Structure 1
Amino acid sequence: MSDVQTVATLADAARQMGADSAYLGGGTVLMRDVNAGTAPSRLVRTTDPALGEIRALGDRVVIGAGVTMAQILAHRDLDFLHPVARLIGGPQVRNMGTVGGNLFAPHPYGDFAVALLALGAQVTMAGASSGSARPIDDVLRDRERPSGLVASVEVQRPSAGSFGFRKVSRVKPKGVSVMSIAVLAPQSGGRIQGARVAWGAMASGPVRGQAVERALDGQSLDSTTIERAAQVATDGLSPPTDPLATSWYRQEVAGVHLRRLLQSMGGR
């Protein structure tokens, strides 16, 4: 049985963290370990109200780490993330699962983190790395040894039609992901500039699809470009084999689903 310690602020919670402790946010993953008797001996939680705040700052939105998927769906400034949050579990999970927790969700979970990775989110931490925002790429790379607790995530609103998300699962509509794909493809003068592509369930955690990004950058989103992107969909990736799908299957279908996503974003 784990002891639960409640503190007033996230900074206090960060100071309380140690080798024998875990942070308790929404608990959608951690509570399974608690019930199985495999959780750390001490759980730390906070009642810090800042974790539940959503603030619009011009074309950017700051999302507290404790904001739930249900809150995302209820906030009009986050309408570009509604299609992602809607596919996270069922109502119970969406009411409890948090933005910060999703960054550390184990394979094959973490679909919301995939979307944030494609959007190039910036993550502010409390603890050893407090004070300055870090690129989400760095936070996800170091998520097995985080240097603090997530305080907030900041994203820029994508231009209309430049962001797309697709989740592939065997149980519709809310099953665990066989894979998920997020694409940010902003255009200038009819050409894609600064493409970001992210995959979920195609590695141990969310990962960039750099080969696809190179195939998209500088191109118009037409059928030729989409086919080139689909052909290199899994270049540089080593998809896992798990009870949901084999590595071979993921490699075989990734290009198909990437093609469909890009076509849905207006590809001709």
Structure 2
Amino acid sequence: MAIRAVHVPESADAAVARLAGGGWVMGGGTVVMPLVNSGAAPVTELVSLRRAGLGGVEVRDGAARIGAAATFTEVGAHPGLAFLRPALRTIASPTLRNQATVGGNLFVAQPYGDLAVCLLALEATCEIAGPDRRRDAPVADVLASGIGAGEVVVAVRVALPEPGTWHYHKAMRRRLNSAAIVTVASVTGVDGGVVASTRIALGGVAPRPVRAVSAERLMLGRPLTHEALTEAGEAARGDADPFDDAYASAWYRTRVLPVHLRRAFLP
């Protein structure tokens, strides 16, 4: 289908109002525009968030509010989010990071949504504007079910992890600028030599980012040893729903998952 109009509203409410007439939301366009250019987009109108005032990053009192239209480059440049820089550098190329937005990555199919994997591990909350009201929703719910018709993600809020608790590892075909075979992001606290709390999110091993709840249960109360992490990685296979693509087979993703989960904690 041919695109007949691109609307550029100047507020979130205006974007929601415009969506009432149909069309697709477009953030940076790194996902939408390839579909448009190939003729695969089943819409004739786009609603761009470029001027809707949804950019920006605020960090204060141990928490961050990241505008849905903030780019990966903008997030990585903020000193308060320095812990995310190694993860962001593994995503696509600098050119794409200048365009790709935080909100858009929530709706990207695996194995490309690596920032969404991080947000899941951080237990982020999405601020959502809709035709009738504004609401908050856990990022886990948005990743699992999407958002309602006519709604727009306005921002994402996260609590910053305590020093030493953030872990990230991504296995890919190239050192940089490649989709994930397996991505692991975790916020894990250790007290008295054993794991006191842990959240582990996986990417590349299911159609959407998933929590490795089986691995989390096995790790609690145990030290971060090679043995414990290997067992946790094997348990995490039960949380995965792997797939075949040009980067790896479902069998391979399942096979190497324990190795890469362990490497997230013991490089």
**How would you bin the TM-score normalised by the shorter chain?**
over 0.9
Match of 2:64 among 51, 56, 61: 61
What's the TM-score once normalised by structure 1's chain length?
0.92
CA separation of 1:241/1:177 partners in 2, compared to 1, >3 Å: closer, same or farther? same
Q: Is 2:36 the partner of 1:12?
A: no
Q: How far apart are 1:203 and its partner, in Å?
A: 1.1
Between the aligned partners of 1:22 and 1:75, the Cα distance in structure 2 is 29
Between the aligned partners of 2:257 and 2:139, the Cα distance in structure 1 is 23
Q: Is 2:76 the partner of 1:48?
A: no
Q: Confirm or deny: 8 A CA contact 2:230 2:259 kept in the other structure.
A: no
Q: Is 2:39 the partner of 1:37?
A: yes
Q: Confirm or deny: 8 A CA contact 1:80 1:157 kept in the other structure.
A: no
Between the aligned partners of 1:28 and 1:44, the Cα distance in structure 2 is 14
- Paired residue secondary structure (2:237): coil
Match of 2:199 among 173, 187, 196: 196
- Paired residue secondary structure (1:221): coil
Between the aligned partners of 1:238 and 1:129, the Cα distance in structure 2 is 35
- Paired residue secondary structure (2:266): helix
The aligned counterpart of 2:257 is 254
CA separation of 1:191/1:48 partners in 2, compared to 1, >3 Å: closer, same or farther? same
The aligned counterpart of 2:26 is 24
CA separation of 1:226/1:133 partners in 2, compared to 1, >3 Å: closer, same or farther? same
Between the aligned partners of 1:244 and 1:129, the Cα distance in structure 2 is 42
Q: How far apart are 1:246 and its partner, in Å?
A: 1.1
The one-letter amino acid paired with 2:36 is: V
- RMSD of aligned Cα (Å): 1.8
Identical aligned pairs, as a percentage?
34
Instruction: Spell out, residue by residue over 1:69-116, the C-alpha distance to the aligned partner (whole angstroms, 9 max, x if none).
Output: 111121100011111111111111010000000000122210000011
Instruction: Pick which of 2-11 and 186-195 moved more.
Output: 186-195
What's the TM-score once normalised by structure 2's chain length?
0.92
Q: Confirm or deny: 8 A CA contact 2:19 2:150 kept in the other structure.
A: no
Q: How far apart are 1:231 and its partner, in Å?
A: 2.4
Q: Confirm or deny: 8 A CA contact 1:198 1:209 kept in the other structure.
A: yes
The one-letter amino acid paired with 2:29 is: G
Query: 1:66-77 maps to which residues of 2 (within 5 A)?
Result: 66-77=69-80
The aligned counterpart of 1:159 is 162
Count, aligned residues:
263
- Paired residue secondary structure (1:7): coil
Q: Confirm or deny: 8 A CA contact 1:130 1:148 kept in the other structure.
A: no
- Paired residue secondary structure (1:202): coil
Between the aligned partners of 2:40 and 2:230, the Cα distance in structure 1 is 46
Query: 1:71-220 maps to which residues of 2 (within 5 A)?
Result: 71-128=74-131, 130-143=133-146, 148-220=151-223
Instruction: Pick which of 167-176 and 218-227 moved more.
Output: 218-227
Between the aligned partners of 1:129 and 1:163, the Cα distance in structure 2 is 37
- Structure 2: runs of 5+ lacking an equivalent: none
- Structure 1: runs of 5+ lacking an equivalent: none
Q: How far apart are 1:7 and its partner, in Å?
A: 1.1
Between the aligned partners of 1:192 and 1:83, the Cα distance in structure 2 is 23
Between the aligned partners of 1:215 and 1:181, the Cα distance in structure 2 is 16
Between the aligned partners of 1:73 and 1:210, the Cα distance in structure 2 is 28
